[in-house]
Structures are given as structure tokens and as C-alpha cells.
Amino acid sequence: MINKREVKSKSKIFILKNVNSDDYNGLSALYNLMCELYKAWGTGIEPDIEMSVKIGKDKICYNRYAIPVVGTPAVTLNMIKRVLEGIDAPPQLLDVIKERHTRRIRMIVGYDYDSGGKRIYFNEGDEAYGYEFKDNLKFFTKRYILVHKTDYDKVIAHLKQMGFQNEFIETFLQILPLEYWSQVCERTNPLVDKENVIGYHIYSSRKVMVGEFGSSLRKIMSLINVESDKRRFDLWLQKNEESYLSWTGIAADKNGQAEVTLYIRPDAEEWDERYSPKDFLSFFEIEIMNR
């Protein structure tokens, strides 16, 4: 049983509100690890957290979390190594990171209870790499590249080519109108011979409170997943009605089926003030370097 009296920070309250009893221990372990590392690095703050829900044709995954590494003067190789060890990453991943990421970076650690997956992201300038793994044997890579603002209208056209219904696109644009798109990145698979865009992540300059667009978000869900437990999604909306939508991911899964991921934060005002989203996949403006 989770003792609510032990919860103090906004991030922990956010965790308590959303996490189910089965995945609390795993998420708590990751969050506590990051708290320990923050303390060791002398940041003077506790980690923030972002939650996401992925809506697919066959299921909805509610238990996905990301924690940014912020407030340090530099992300050192030793820091990366400690994070990788703490999340039981494949040993060979460190060598890949040392070879590929040599410039200014920003780092995010992710946890997905539903799939059993863990993730670590590195953002360098206008591109980023995400490494995903379920055990310490192998990992999978995704690449993210910024889309120029003059090409935002092409994103809509490509979503139609990917098979997204007009009704879905119209509903999505009610939530995030094109004129408010401030950052867009395309997600690709760098391990195939020719990189194919398999999705987009979109950030809005307009603050979007979940509760204000509950009916539109509910419609998005029903257009993709017609057989899910709508009461559970309604409960998720209710619990997070005062949370803010940050990024929205729109993609096709490995079977070509549409999926949408909604990324939410507990306090938009505080996040915007501390981590102005000047770089995609990055919630923070502090320059940090891998060395």
C-alpha cells in the first residue's frame, strides 16, 4: 500500500496519481535512482517527470514515464555509465553512445511498464537518438530529426498518405492547430537500408490543458481503438484534467496501424519556465556536454 503521507514533490504526486500498484515499484526504483544521481551531481533539485499514454489499435498503454537529466554543468561519461548501470542496459550500448554522441547533448531516461521496456534518449542539435531495450542483451534504435517550419504542411499530407482518416486529422488539428506548432520532429528507423519516416512528434506553443480538450481526446482514442475500455480512458482523462499536453506522437506501428501517444506534464507553467522547449525531445535549456 502506498503511503500518501510520504509523497512531497509534485513529481511524486504525479506518479502516485497515475501509477497502478503493479508498476509502482519499478517506476519508484527508477525515480529514486535519478534522485540519488541528482543529489550526487549536486543539482539541488528533484527530477521532474513526464507521463505518456500510447493509443494503438489493439491496446492502450497507460504506464509510460520519462525523466530528464537537468541542472548539471555537464553530462559526463561517468554519469551516463551510472544511469545505464542503474537501468540494466546492454553493456555494448555504452560503446555506441561514446562513438556516436560527442557533442553537446541532453539526456532523458524512460520507463514503460506495459511493455517492460526502458529507454534512454540523447539530443544533439537538430537530431536525437533513442535506445530501447527490455533486457541487457540487445537494444533497438530510433532516430529523430527536426522538421523545418516551412515543411509543416507536408506533415499533414504525409499523415494522409500513411492512412490517417480525415476525421482523425481534423480532430487532431482542433487540439493542436497548425499555426501553433512550434516544433516537429520525424521519427525514423536508422537500422533499415533506407530510413523511412514512421511517425512525427509535435509540440504546441499554446498551452493545452487536458481537461479543456477531453471530448476531442476521447474522439481521437475512439477513432484508433474502437474496442478498448472507454471507462478507463475516461478515468485517465479525469485524473489528469489539470495536466498539460506537451508532445503528441503520431505514427504507424510495425503493422502499419495508426497509433497516437499523448505526453503530459503535471505543471506547464513551471516546466516552461525552467525548461523552455528550444530543442525537440528536450525540456530544458541548460547547456550540458558529454565529456
Q: What is the pLDDT of residues 241-281, one digit of tens each?
A: 988 888 899 998 777 788 999 998 876 554 444 444 333 33
What pTM, to 2 d.p., does this model score? Answer: 0.83
The per-residue pLDDT for 101 is 82
Q: How far is CA 213 from CA 59, 174, 181, 232, 258, in A?
A: 22, 9, 17, 17, 21
Rounded CA-CA distance 249/121 in Å is 15
Q: Is pLDDT at 3 greater than 80 in this prediction?
A: no
pLDDT digits (tens, 9 = 90+) for 138-164: 898 888 889 999 999 999 999 998 888
Phi, psi of 176 (to 5 degrees): -125, 80
| Distance from C-alpha of 115 to C-alpha of 189, rounded to nearest angstrom | 19
Residue 220's alpha-carbon distances to 55, 70, 90, 157, 248, in angstroms, are 9, 33, 36, 18, 12
DSSP 8-class letter at 46:
P
Indicate the residue type of 258: A
Q: Helices 77-86 and 24-41, interaxial angle, to 10°?
A: 160
pLDDT, tens only, 101-142: 877 677 888 888 878 888 999 877 778 899 999 888 889 888
User: In the prediction, which pLDDT does 1 show?
Assistant: 33
